[in-house]
Amino acid sequence: MDVVTLGETMVAMRADGLLRLGTTARVSVAGAESTVAVGLSRLGHRVRWAGRVGRDEPGALVVRTLRAEEVDTSTVREDDAPTGLVLFEQRLPDVTRVQYYRAGSAGSRLGPDDVVSALDGGTRLVHLSGITPALSTTAWEAVVAACDRAAEIGSAISFDVNFRSRLWSAEDAARVLTPLARRATVVVGSPDELALVGGVSDLLRHGVAEVVTKRGAEGASVTTPDGTWHAPAHEVSVVDSVGAGDAFTAGYLSGWLDGLDLAERLARGTACGAFAVATRGDWEGLPTRAELDLIGSSRGTALR
Ligand code: ATP
């Protein structure tokens, strides 16, 4: 594998109107780490997603979708608890209300055992996010086990802080996520999230090689012990901004895997972020490698 990632993927329902009025909805799947996995797979990397799904139809949808995206799901486990659910209601063109039904879900039952099988066979990179440790004690232990195992087998770690205030307090998140972030080679977050885990300088002092700051429509930057590089965001019409961060991370890590320089890694990240905001859904609009260059196309271009 090039990348192994783990976390929770839920069934996602995107309402076409207001839920309280009764409406139609599109059913898909959503999860930060699996969005990164799909993004990397479309860019041609070999990726495994590990996690637990319920013994139910939403669980079958999660696994089938990821397999269809050529993400390896061979170590995914079924669990007696139900697959989690997330509801999206778009209230304004760029304002989405998100509600989660994931407490006690199959995904939250992830544990260290799942990590052992997922990392069997090795990988260049283990991608983790700050959502997983918030799901349950065993899921937190799974993330710690993934860091331990990555160190043993010589894999690099990327860590997206991904603070979710619905899951825990900032204080609890800072206490748990700071030591995890310090173990990573690449840490990704918004300015607020990076401050939560000690800030850019502190992370570099603790041995993190690259700290990547996502700045929404202002683009992204990366800081290493040698300096800071910045890339502007691409100008696109925003259709749905949810998932931009994970898309960006997939692009940045793809550049890392390909050995691109820091500016080129950022450029691939911002290209993927632009695809994500310009299309509906978290992962559906992510580019293949051949499509990456479309981002520079002039308006009105028709591909014939
Ligand atoms: P989310 O939590 O919604 O997934 P995030 O806060 O983790 O997002 P952002 O910083 O919003 O991540 O977005 C990641 C990247 O996506 C940005 O660095 C940028 O390159 C791209 N992006 C985000 N918003 C826009 C936008 N409005 N126009 C163009 N590109 C954007």
For the chain, the domains span 3-7+32-79+108-288
pLDDT at 225 over 80: yes
- Cβ atoms within 10 Å of 137's Cβ, excluding its own: 10
DSSP state, residue 109: G
Q: How far does residue 201's CA lie from ligand 1's centre (Å)?
A: 23
Take residue 219 and report the two structure tokens written for it: 């683009």
Question: Per DSSP, what are the bridge partners of residue 95?
Answer: 92
Residue type, 52: R
Of 298, 219, 210, the C-alpha closest to 262 is: 210
Pocket test for ligand 1, best of 214, 239, 240, 270 (most atoms within 8 A of CB): 214
Q: How far does residue 81's CA lie from ligand 1's centre (Å)?
A: 33
pLDDT at 301 over 90: no
Among protein residues, the one with the nearest Cα to ligand 1's atom 12 is: 245
Q: pLDDT class for 218, splitting at 50, 70, 90?
A: very high
Q: What percent of the chain has pLDDT over 90?
A: 88
273 lines ligand 1 (CB under 6 A): yes
| CB distance 240 to 280 below 8 Å | yes
**What average pLDDT is seen over the chain?**
95
The sheet with strand 227-231 has its strands ordered as 47-50, 3-6, 125-129, 156-160, 186-189, 210-214, 220-224, 227-231
Among protein residues, the one with the nearest Cα to ligand 1's atom 2 is: 245
What pLDDT, on the 0 to 100 scale, is given for residue 95?
83
Q: pLDDT class for 93, splitting at 50, 70, 90?
A: confident
What pLDDT, on the 0 to 100 scale, is given for residue 208?
98
What pLDDT, on the 0 to 100 scale, is given for residue 123?
97
Among protein residues, the one with the nearest Cα to ligand 1's atom 21 is: 273
When pLDDT is averaged across residues 144-168 and rounded to a whole number, the result is: 96
**Catalytic residue among 172, 246, 261, 282, which?**
246
ipTM of this predicted structure: 0.97
Pocket test for ligand 1, best of 92, 213, 248, 249 (most atoms within 8 A of CB): 248
Active site residue 246: yes
| CB distance 127 to 133 below 8 Å | no
Low-confidence winner among 60-64, 90-94, 149-153, 260-264 (lowest mean pLDDT) = 90-94
When pLDDT is averaged across residues 195-211 and rounded to a whole number, the result is: 98
When pLDDT is averaged across residues 276-283 and rounded to a whole number, the result is: 91
CA distances to 92, 97, 114, 168, 198 from 35, rounded to whole Å, are: 23, 19, 19, 22, 26
Residue 12 makes CB contacts below 8 A (sequence gap 6+) with 27, 28, 29, 30, 85, 86, 87, 88, 282
Does the domain spanning 3-7+32-79+108-288 belong to CATH 3.40.50.300?
no
Q: Using one digit for the tens of pLDDT, what is the confidence trace for 20-49?
A: 999 999 999 999 999 999 999 999 999 999
54 lines ligand 1 (CB under 6 A): no
- The atom of ligand 1 lying closest to the CA of 243 is 4
